[in-house]
Amino acid sequence: MNVIEKVTLNNPHALPARVKSQKKKGFFRQSGVYLFLGLFAFISIFPFYWMIIGATNHSGKMFSSPPTLLPGKEFMVNLAHLNEAVRIGRVLFNSVFVSVLFVILALAISTAAAYVLAKFEFKGKKTIFTAFLLSMMIPGQATMIPLFKMMSDFHLLNTYFALIAPSLCFPFAIFLMRQNLMAFPTELMESARLDGASELRIFLSIVLPSMKPALAATAIFLFMSQWNNFMWPLVATTSSEMYTFPVAIASLMGVTSIDYGQVMMGVTIATIPMIIFFLALQRHFISGMLGSALK
Amino acid sequence: MKRNVAFPYFFIAPAVLLFAVFTIYPVLSSLLLSFQKSTGGELIFTGLANYQRLFGDDIFIKALKNTFLILIIQVPIMIFLALVLANALNRKLLKLKGFFRTSFFLPAVTSLVAYAVLFSIMMQDDGIFNTAIHMLGLDSIPWLSHPVWAKISMILAMTWRWTGYNMVIFLAALQNLSDDIYEAAALDGAGKWQQFFHITIPQLKPVILFSTILSTIGTLQLFDEPMNLTKGGPADSTMTLGLYIYQNGFEYFDFGYASAIAYVVVILVAVLSFLQFKVTGED
């Protein structure tokens, strides 16, 4: 006889009371969980809200007490100041152009490499793959100085080439695509070969079409890494004409009298497109950014 | 069947070529540079002089200590918090799950420079953090102007940026665990926290290891945050190896010395990743 039966037999009112107290405990625990999650959601979101407050108010309002908690009317003023300081249209163009071109080229290069690493046997394959894997542990700081000297020697500093070329072979993207391509059924490739299809044709019209989700995820990963990249563009660009967003924003904080409204506007313009992009493509985004962790 | 033997080479050639020029060459070149010194525009071989100089360089020692301090404190706090949040979000009957997950992940799509600049404004002496603290009737905190607080501020900011990212990794792993084991544990009378420590954490060990290694590599290279949040200050209290390499290379143009520090980071990354693998992988 278990405990509940015993209790019920001895006292017919005991069970409901027990269930009630459990329910009560459950209610408190539930509220606790929501309170905890709500607090962290607030902490996560507040800085974004504050960024918008800053971008739409006068510079000094960010430091007023009591605090200004509502969006103001200085949006256009801050935008105009920002534009005077860094030519925001040019920065936006640089960032978008560099990121898009980079994604297209890097995606093509890494998908091609990943495909043969996943589906073919050839001499040197193991060495190449191991080298790619190991290079993921090499910090950017270890290659930055020779890269800078190289670009400087060839008079390539302050060019789109310098911003894009060094990370075009992106081992993590190769790794990601390879994981997905390994799952593609080899029999489909074999039967296409028997039908006389060329290798290129098999890749383009049989394999690639089934890789759309993986390509989208990898593209987002590559885009994020280029859009947010700071150290290399900081080194490779000396002219403000070639600044990307992170470099431009950092440069706004380097002057003696900082216009915070203008800085917040810059931060907002660099951040909001990413957030919209993320909200629209959440699933692809998360699998792209986490990469193989999800596999 | 006739196979096109050259095909794989054509396909991998662009990646290998780029890799050779923009990764292998620079890695070897900076190793060479780390044994050289620039005198009057000429690079001269100086043996281990750059490495010997490290031992007597107070700022380097400080950068090394700061980097490790941040690593030892920030990474465990963040991983634990991410696990707790993932665990809470994994409840079956939880409402607003999508809202919470999206909110927590949002900081991870922000650029490092943007969030570091944002925090540097919020953490000023008369910024919103202190305004809020004042309204609670407490004394303001020297977030960025006191050596200890500056480190704490950096840890707080990094935790804000990266917890959600790790949480989503853990959440994905949690969803692959079967419910049976939890049901069995609940029947045996294990409470939620006991289940968390004795089932969830051990089951997620490989993923936790993955996250820890990624975070360790990231922290050892820490650059964007100290550069934009604290500028390494006050008094080098938030100087990191990443920032010190940049300063030596591109403010003092001492390429040799900067490369030597970069190689210290390379070795640290290799050793720590190996150790974490060994320690967590064996028992």
Query: What range does the domain containing A229 cover?
Result: 81-294
Question: Do A246 and B15 make contact, defined as CB atoms within 8 angstroms?
Answer: no
For chain A, what percent of residues have pLDDT higher than 70?
88
What integer pLDDT is reported at residue B91 of this predicted model? Answer: 82
Whether residue A201 is found in the same domain as residue A89: yes
* B44 SS3 class: strand
Question: How far apart are alpha carbons A227 and A94 in whole angstroms?
Answer: 10
ipTM confidence: 0.88
Whether residue A112 is found in the same domain as residue A136: yes
For chain A, what percent of residues have pLDDT higher than 90?
51
Whether residue A174 is found in the same domain as residue A51: no
Whether residue A14 is found in the same domain as residue A96: no
Whether residue A108 is found in the same domain as residue A41: no
Whether residue A47 is found in the same domain as residue A184: no
Identify the CATH assignment for B56-282 out of 1.10.10.10, 1.20.1250.20, 1.20.58.340, 1.10.3720.10.
1.10.3720.10
Q: What is the mean pLDDT of chain A?
A: 86
What integer pLDDT is reported at residue B1 of this predicted model? Answer: 45
Grade residue A19 by pLDDT with cuts at 50, 70 and 90.
low
Least confident residue range of A70-84, A188-202, B248-262: A70-84
Structural contact between residues B237 and B148, judged by C-beta atoms closer than 8 angstroms:
yes
Chain A residues lying within 8 Å of B217, measured CB to CB: 137, 139
Whether residue A63 is found in the same domain as residue A10: yes
DSSP letters spanning A96-151 = HHHHHHHHHHHHHHHHHHHHHHHH---TTHHHHHHHHHHHTTS-THHHHHHHHHHH
Question: How far apart are alpha carbons B283 and B272 in whole angstroms?
Answer: 18
What integer pLDDT is reported at residue A289 of this predicted model? Answer: 63
What integer pLDDT is reported at residue A105 of this predicted model? Answer: 97
Residue A103's nearest CA partner among A173, A171, A180 is: A173
Question: Residue B37 forms beta bridges with which residues?
Answer: B44
What integer pLDDT is reported at residue A183 of this predicted model? Answer: 87
Whether residue A170 is found in the same domain as residue A126: yes
The dihedral formed by the CA atoms of A287, A288, A289 and A295, expressed in degrees to the nearest 10: 50
Which of A41, A73, A105 is at the close of a domain?
A73
In the 8-state DSSP scheme, what is residue A167? G
**Which amino acid makes up residue B227?**
M
What integer pLDDT is reported at residue B192 of this predicted model? Answer: 81
Question: How far apart are alpha carbons B138 and A252 in whole angstroms?
Answer: 32
Question: How far apart are alpha carbons A230 and A198 in whole angstroms?
Answer: 42
Q: Choose among A43, A166, A278: nearest Cβ to B160.
A: A43
**Does any CB of chain A come closer than 8 Å to the CB of residue B250?**
yes
**Distance of CA A285 to CAs A180, A188, A224, A272, Å?**
16, 29, 10, 15
Whether residue A279 is found in the same domain as residue A213: yes
The residue of chain B with its CA nearest to that of A116 is B8
What integer pLDDT is reported at residue A7 of this predicted model? Answer: 41
What integer pLDDT is reported at residue A214 of this predicted model? Answer: 87
Residue A2 reports pLDDT greater than 80:
no
What integer pLDDT is reported at residue A20 of this predicted model? Answer: 54
Q: What is the pLDDT along chain B (283 residues), one digit of tens a residue?
A: 456 788 999 999 999 999 999 999 999 999 999 999 877 777 888 888 899 999 999 999 999 999 999 999 999 999 999 999 998 888 878 888 889 999 999 999 899 999 999 999 999 988 889 999 988 889 889 999 999 999 999 999 999 999 999 998 898 888 878 778 888 888 888 888 888 888 888 888 888 988 888 899 899 999 999 999 998 879 899 999 999 999 999 999 899 999 999 999 999 998 988 888 787 765 4
Q: Where do the structural domains in chain B lie, given as residue ranges?
A: 56-282
User: Side-chain half-sphere of A173: how many Cα atoms within 13 Å?
Assistant: 29
pLDDT tens for A88-109 read 899 999 999 999 999 999 999 9
Owner of token pair 């589906």: A119
Question: How far apart are alpha carbons A77 and B126 in whole angstroms?
Answer: 23
Which of A21, A41, A73 is at the close of a domain?
A73
Q: Which one is predicted more confidently, A245 or A257?
A: A245
Whether residue A13 is found in the same domain as residue A122: no
**Which amino acid makes up residue A285?**
F
Grade residue A24 by pLDDT with cuts at 50, 70 and 90.
low
| pTM for this prediction | 0.87
Question: How far apart are alpha carbons A183 and A119 in whole angstroms?
Answer: 10
What integer pLDDT is reported at residue B190 of this predicted model? Answer: 83
Whether residue A15 is found in the same domain as residue A117: no
Q: Choose among A109, A122, A139: nearest Cβ to B265.
A: A139
Question: Do B242 and A286 make contact, defined as CB atoms within 8 angstroms?
Answer: no
pLDDT tens for A203-225 read 999 999 989 888 988 888 899 88
Whether residue A188 is found in the same domain as residue A278: yes
Question: How far apart are alpha carbons A156 and A145 in whole angstroms?
Answer: 14
Number of structural domains (chain A) is 2
Question: Do B207 and A267 make contact, defined as CB atoms within 8 angstroms?
Answer: no
Question: Residue B38 forms beta bridges with which residues?
Answer: B43
Q: What is the 3-state secondary structure (H, E, C) of A269-291?
A: HHHHHHHHHHHHCHHHHHHHHHH
Grade residue A290 by pLDDT with cuts at 50, 70 and 90.
low
Grade residue A21 by pLDDT with cuts at 50, 70 and 90.
low
Label residues A116-136 b or e (16+ Cβ within 10 Å = b).
bbbbbebeeeeebbebbeebe
Substitution target from B17, B60, B110 for chain A, most A beta carbons within 10 A: B110
